């Protein structure tokens, strides 16, 4: 019972084709491509990360 799958652009660059493949496995889940820098990188990017996370939440 998976509700949400986030496919990060880093460290592996997931693409739309991966999203389509996973949709067949998890038809009821929302599958999103997300900016991996916001999830994986530290430092100055964290300043922008919280606004990015809020924007993602609005798309749920």
pTM above 0.75, yes or no: yes
pLDDT at 8: 94
- Cα–Cα distances in angstroms (integers) from residue 14 to residues 4, 23, 44, 51, in the given order: 15, 14, 24, 22
Ranges of the chain whose pLDDT falls below 50: none
**Interatomic CA distance for residues 24 and 31, integer angstroms:** 11
As for how many domains the chain has, the answer is: 1
Burial of 18-32, coded b for 16+ CB within 10 Å and e otherwise, reads eeeebeeeeeeeebe
| pLDDT number for residue 46 | 81
Domain of residue 47, residue span: 4-59
């Amino acid at each position: 019972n998976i509700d949400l799958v986030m496919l990060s652009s880093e460290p592996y660059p997931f693409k739309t084709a991966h999203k389509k493949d996973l949709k067949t496995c998890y038809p009821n889940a929302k599958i999103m491509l997300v900016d991996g820098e916001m999830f994986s990188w530290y430092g100055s990017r964290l300043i922008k990360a919280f606004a990015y996370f809020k924007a993602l939440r609005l798309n749920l």
